[in-house]
């Protein structure tokens, strides 16, 4: 049995749990770490705030887990920390007899036949015991236990929803306070003010929204001084719209994903209504950003080269900064045929890679024509999700140039459209005829991902 760090990240309910787990993935925090002889079960005792350590256990066969801590998160940070220790081999997991407290838990979740500790194994060892268990019929769950678990889950969901509503009320009051006190003061003190309300949102189980607000100051500072007041109004306005959308439809998966937590990879893959697109894709670019919460976001942008389906796909991954830089499985400019499944949304964008076929002959190098006029491409996503931050665009023929003041602009070939561009754009693109340009519009400027030119593809930051 084996688990990698990516599986641990996908198991976490939110980014705060993952960050806390990273802090627990240290040998000094743990004692009594071990594993069953068939490497299916792992366990350990983690030092907590009380006198007695928390007993933590996990079954690597299906990632079932248990911890004696009082946390309402499942899995808690201690379970994630134990899995982290195993995935990164931070401490040795020595094969040993299964402790009684692990066997008791295993018996409760799998039926009486699984409750026998490893010390009572037959001569063939854990391997034979595992085969014998697999051959035994599964014990049906007690209907009363099922009903009790369902009632407990419903109660936890209700408590979580109530906590999020309270946090959103605090956010509304905070936004009103910033407007009353003046945008100038807010911009000057944005980092401290945003951090305070972000902490309140984390406590209210709105961790994703908290991360967005924690990054708000850096987005404002990226603007020129004259554009920051307008940028602040737009950012605060989008937060108000998102909060109202959640109150209106708290069970909407796309809205909940933007406020509280994202669905697990398994849930998306198992969703029969999830959009699946089998097509040829080009890797446009990869964006790696270290966030203020200690996590690194790794975003891979893909362009759909087929006529049907979403034009863009975004593969998003998070990992702790302490884990170091990860190598990417993609190379900007490469093309592949594969299947993607998209997270449910009114504007499908975030996706998971389900299948990636072997390299084969790909279509001609020219990118497809944009589906919409530029005005529609800029506004249509906001009609579906007005709180969205980044909008991917496939721009028509145009050119990039710098003015006398040093500002960079993209201008359409017909001269009817002009958009500001991030100053860090690849200098080779300036003055070049661009047949197609893939970019991200943040509401105030373009971030160039890649472009098609007369002499081939050029990356936005090559």
pLDDT at 98: 86
Does the predicted TM-score (pTM) go above 0.75?
Answer: no
Phi, psi of 337 (to 5 degrees): -105, 130
What confidence score (pLDDT) does residue 312 get? 94
Q: What angle in degrees, to the nearest 10, is found between the helix axes of 143-181 and 190-203? A: 160
Question: How many Å apart are CA 247 and CA 166, to the nearest integer?
Answer: 11
Task: Give pLDDT, residue 74.
Answer: 77
Q: Dihedral of CA 178/181/185/189: which sign? A: negative
Q: Which residue has the tokens 């098609």?
A: 452
CA distance to 171, 334, 438, per residue, from 257 (Å): 17, 30, 26
Res 19: pLDDT? 83
What pLDDT does 372 receive? Answer: 79
Q: Quick one: which of 314, 316, 321 has its CA closest to 290?
A: 321
pLDDT of 31: 87
- Cis preceding-peptide flag for 75 (omega within 30 of 0): yes
pLDDT of residue 365: 63
Q: How high is the pLDDT of residue 287?
A: 86
pLDDT less than 50: residues of the chain: 111-139
């Amino acid at each position: 049995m084996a688990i990698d760090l990516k599986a641990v990240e996908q198991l976490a309910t939110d980014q705060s749990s993952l960050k806390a787990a990273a802090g627990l993935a240290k040998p000094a925090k743990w004692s009594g770490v071990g594993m069953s002889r068939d490497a299916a079960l792992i366990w350990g005792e983690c030092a907590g705030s009380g006198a007695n350590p928390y007993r933590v256990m996990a079954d690597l066969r299906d990632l079932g887990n248990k911890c004696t801590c009082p946390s309402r998160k499942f899995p808690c940070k201690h379970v994630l920390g134990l899995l982290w220790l195993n995935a990164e081999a931070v401490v040795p997991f020595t094969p040993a007899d299964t402790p009684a407290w692990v066997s008791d838990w295993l018996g409760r979740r799998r039926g009486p036949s699984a409750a026998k500790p490893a010390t009572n194994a037959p001569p063939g060892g854990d391997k034979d015991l595992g085969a014998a268990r697999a051959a035994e019929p599964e014990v049906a769950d007690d209907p009363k236990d099922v009903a009790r678990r369902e009632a407990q889950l419903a109660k936890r969901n209700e408590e979580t929803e109530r906590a999020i509503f309270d946090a959103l009320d605090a956010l509304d009051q905070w936004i009103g306070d910033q407007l009353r006190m003046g945008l100038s003061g807010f911009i000057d003190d944005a980092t401290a003010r945003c951090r305070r309300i972000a902490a309140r949102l984390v406590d209210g189980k709105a961790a994703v929204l908290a991360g967005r607000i924690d990054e708000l100051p850096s987005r404002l500072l990226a603007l020129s001084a004259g554009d920051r007041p307008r940028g602040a109004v737009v950012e605060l306005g989008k937060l108000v719209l998102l909060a109202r959308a959640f109150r209106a439809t708290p069970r909407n998966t796309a809205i909940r994903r933007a406020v509280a937590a994202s669905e697990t990879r398994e849930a998306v893959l198992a969703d029969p209504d999830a959009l699946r697109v089998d097509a040829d894709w080009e890797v446009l670019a990869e964006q790696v950003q270290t966030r203020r919460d200690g996590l690194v976001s790794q975003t891979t942008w893909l362009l759909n080269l087929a006529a049907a389906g979403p034009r863009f796909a975004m593969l998003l991954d998070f990992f702790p900064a302490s884990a170091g830089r990860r190598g990417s499985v993609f190379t900007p400019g490469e093309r592949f045929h594969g299947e993607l499944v998209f997270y449910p949304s009114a504007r499908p964008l975030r996706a998971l890679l389900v299948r990636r076929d072997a390299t084969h002959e790909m279509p001609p190098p020219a990118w497809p024509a944009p589906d919409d006029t530029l005005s529609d491409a800029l506004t249509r996503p906001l009609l579906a999700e007005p709180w969205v931050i980044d909008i991917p665009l496939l721009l028509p023929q145009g050119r990039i140039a710098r003015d006398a003041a040093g500002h960079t602009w993209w201008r359409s070939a017909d001269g009817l459209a002009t958009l500001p561009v991030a100053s860090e754009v690849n200098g080779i693109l300036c003055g070049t005829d661009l047949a197609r340009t893939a970019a991200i519009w943040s509401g105030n400027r373009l971030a160039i991902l890649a472009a098609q030119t007369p002499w081939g593809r050029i990356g936005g930051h090559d």
